[in-house]
Amino acid sequence: MQSGLVSTIIPVYNRARMLREAVESVLAQTYRPIEILVVDDGSNDGTERVADELAAAHPGVVRVIHQPNRGVGPAREAGRLAARGEFIQHLDSDDLLYPRKFELQVAGLREHPECGASYGWTRGRLPDGSVVEQPESRTGERIETLFPAMLQTRWWQTSTPLYRASLIERAGAWTTLQNEEDWEYDARVAALGVRLHYVPEWVSETRHHDDNRLSRFGRKPESLRHRARAHALILEHAQRAGIGIDTPEMQHYARELFLLARQCGAAGLPDESRMLFDRARVASGQPRLRLQLRAYSLVAAILGWSRTGRLACLSDRLR
Mean pLDDT computed over 268-272 = 97
User: Residue 296: enclosing H or E segment and its boundaries?
Assistant: helix 287-303
Cα four-point dihedral sign 85, 89, 91, 96: negative
Q: Which of 39, 60, 33, 59 is nearest to 51 (CA)?
A: 39
User: Residue 167: enclosing H or E segment and its boundaries?
Assistant: helix 165-171
Asked whether the predicted pLDDT for residue 181 surpasses 80, the reply is yes
CATH assignment, 2-207? 3.90.550.10
Q: pLDDT above 90 covers what percent of the chain?
A: 92
Residue 219 pLDDT: 64
| Whole-number Å distance between alpha carbons of 235 and 283 | 8
Asked whether the predicted pLDDT for residue 172 surpasses 60, the reply is yes
Q: The whole model's pTM is what? A: 0.93
Calculate the average pLDDT of the chain: 95
Mean pLDDT computed over 272-286 = 95
The answer to whether residues 179 and 223 touch, using CB atoms and an 8 Å cutoff, is: yes
Q: Which of 60, 34, 40, 42 is nearest to 52 (CA)?
A: 40
Q: pLDDT above 70 covers what percent of the chain?
A: 97
Residue 218 pLDDT: 52
Mean pLDDT computed over 287-314 = 94
DSSP E strand boundaries for 80-176 = 85-90, 96-97, 115-125, 162-164
| pLDDT tens digits along 206-248 | 999 876 554 444 568 999 999 999 999 999 999 999 999 999 9
Asked whether the predicted pLDDT for residue 286 surpasses 90, the reply is no
Residue 216 pLDDT: 45
Of the listed ranges 84-98, 110-124, 206-220, 267-281, the least confidently predicted one is 206-220
User: At a CB cut-off of 8 Å and minimum separation 6, what does 183 contact?
Assistant: 150, 154, 230, 234
pLDDT band for 283, please (50, 70, 90 cuts).
very high
pLDDT band for 281, please (50, 70, 90 cuts).
very high
pLDDT band for 57, please (50, 70, 90 cuts).
very high
Look up residue 22 and give its DSSP letter. H
C-alpha angle 225-230-235 in degrees, rounded to nearest 5? 130
Asked whether the predicted pLDDT for residue 114 surpasses 80, the reply is yes
pLDDT band for 71, please (50, 70, 90 cuts).
very high
| pLDDT tens digits along 10-26 | 999 999 999 999 999 99
Mean pLDDT computed over 177-189 = 97
User: At a CB cut-off of 8 Å and minimum separation 6, what does 262 contact?
Assistant: 273, 308, 309, 312, 313, 316
Q: Which residues pair with 207 in a beta bridge?
A: 125
Residue positions counted in the chain: 319
| Whole-number Å distance between alpha carbons of 2 and 258 | 45
Mean pLDDT computed over 67-96 = 97
| Whole-number Å distance between alpha carbons of 164 and 100 | 17
Maximum distance among all alpha carbons in the chain?
65
